[in-house]
Amino acid sequence: MTAASRARALAGVGRLSDAEAEVRAGLARLPTDPELLALLAGLLRLQGRRAEALAAADAAVAAAPHLSGTHIERAECLLMIPSGTEESSETSPASTASPASGPSTAESDETRTAEALREAREAVRLDPAHPPAYRVLARVLSSRREFDQAREAARRALALDPHSVIDLLTLGEIERHAGRRGAARAAVGAALAEDPGNPDGRWLIALLDAERLRVRSSLRGLRELAADHPDKLDVTALTWPVRGLLGGFRRGLGVGVPLVVLLAGCALLWPSWELAARAAAATVTLVMIGFGLRVLVPAGLLPWRCLALLPVRTRRAVRAGWVAAGATVALLLGYGVTALALLPVLALVTLAVLLVTGRADRM
């Protein structure tokens, strides 16, 4: 058995560190072996060691530019590198980017995905009958939001291997990101027909249920997945109804509160506007409450219990966010009932707190 085959066997049972050690031992004997270099890049990528993974992929391409597999691995490594950042200087969720950082980040992201696209196309050119080449091309195109071309690449992979679970799931991901949830569900369903227990397929179904606010079905799927594959799913994913709903409140109240403040200000100058301001406050309140009940009632207590499993900083941010959201809704309701002009101004303050907590809780 070769070092590469031993490493793949170890990686297959989740022993990534042991697999990496096996590959490095093989590279000590054959330092320019392209198979071992590409395998090392993949193992480092799976461990989240982005810069090291790309360096190994660069070495693999340099050692064997004629092999499709080396370009596939380099494209995969480029896809997972954070936009505009190095591994050692990733921005924390709570950090604040300067206004000038936006264009450079977008430019870096474009450069990175363009390079990944060149690698993926080179992989296809070198081996046009190799499904993984089309698969990585599809993923790169999807990351660039070129969904029609991504869909076509995924279908080319499936034409070569119609029963490939990973290619069906890739197509499902593309359709989900393109907003075609029905097509995504069909692709994932076909994958699960081939492999009913596939954790990635079950995860995608739970995501699709969540996006359609099928809360009970999504949580049931995630709970079963966590029980069957505890190594594949962080149970904090079960907090999504609580945290996702809080994100919805930030968006809804971020629009509703300024509108009410504007109308309330107009009402101070022109009293005839008061009815419109109070009606807007009542409408925003009812929409937020209705949306909350639509998610929280079917979710039950499970998401709240799982909050205790979150990191302390995140847990505090979620709790503070809920207090701020509740206070904001209560203040809007109070204004709708009493027309007291101070209440919308206070709602702006609590809204600011709600928005700030969102920076500490990135799902």
Name the residue among 178, 177, 176, 179 with its Cα closest to residue 189: 176
Q: Which domain holds residue 295?
A: 241-359
Asked if 153 and 137 touch (Cβ cutoff 8 Å), the reply is: yes
- Of 7-16, 133-142, 268-277, 328-337, where does mean pLDDT reach its minimum? 7-16
Using CA atoms, how far apart are residues 114 and 271, in angstroms rounded to an integer?
57
Name the residue among 84, 36, 26 with its Cα closest to residue 56: 36
Q: Are residues 111 and 134 in the same domain?
A: no
Looking at 211, 231, 251, the residue that finishes a domain is 231
Q: What is the mean pLDDT of residues 320-343?
A: 95
SS3 of 97, please?
Answer: coil
Determine, yes or no, domain membership for 92. no
Torsion of CA 25, 28, 34, 36, to 10 degrees: 0
Per-residue pLDDT at 228: 86
Using CA atoms, how far apart are residues 171 and 64, in angstroms rounded to an integer?
29
Q: Are residues 267 and 333 in the same domain?
A: yes
Determine, yes or no, domain membership for 137. yes
Using CA atoms, how far apart are residues 115 and 137, in angstroms rounded to an integer?
12
Number of domains comprising the chain: 3
pLDDT tens-place string over residues 94-146: 333 333 344 445 557 788 889 999 999 999 999 999 999 999 999 999 999 99
Asked if 38 and 69 touch (Cβ cutoff 8 Å), the reply is: yes
Please give the share of the chain, as a percent, with pLDDT higher than 70: 91
Q: Are residues 261 and 354 in the same domain?
A: yes
Determine, yes or no, domain membership for 275. yes
Q: Which residues of 90-108 are buried (b: 16+ CB within 10 A; e: fewer)?
A: eeeeeeeeeeeeeeebeee
pLDDT tens-place string over residues 145-188: 999 999 999 999 999 999 999 999 999 999 999 999 999 999 99
Q: Are residues 285 and 346 in the same domain?
A: yes
Determine, yes or no, domain membership for 97. no
The answer to whether residue 55 scores a pLDDT higher than 80 is: yes
Q: Are residues 185 and 262 in the same domain?
A: no
Determine, yes or no, domain membership for 64. yes
Determine, yes or no, domain membership for 17. yes
CATH of the domain at 78: 1.25.40.10
Q: Are residues 78 and 176 in the same domain?
A: no
Looking at 94, 119, 144, the residue that finishes a domain is 119
Determine, yes or no, domain membership for 191. yes
Name the residue among 187, 184, 137 with its Cα closest to residue 165: 187
Q: What is the pTM of this model?
A: 0.78
Using CA atoms, how far apart are residues 81 and 307, in angstroms rounded to an integer?
29
Q: Are residues 290 and 221 in the same domain?
A: no
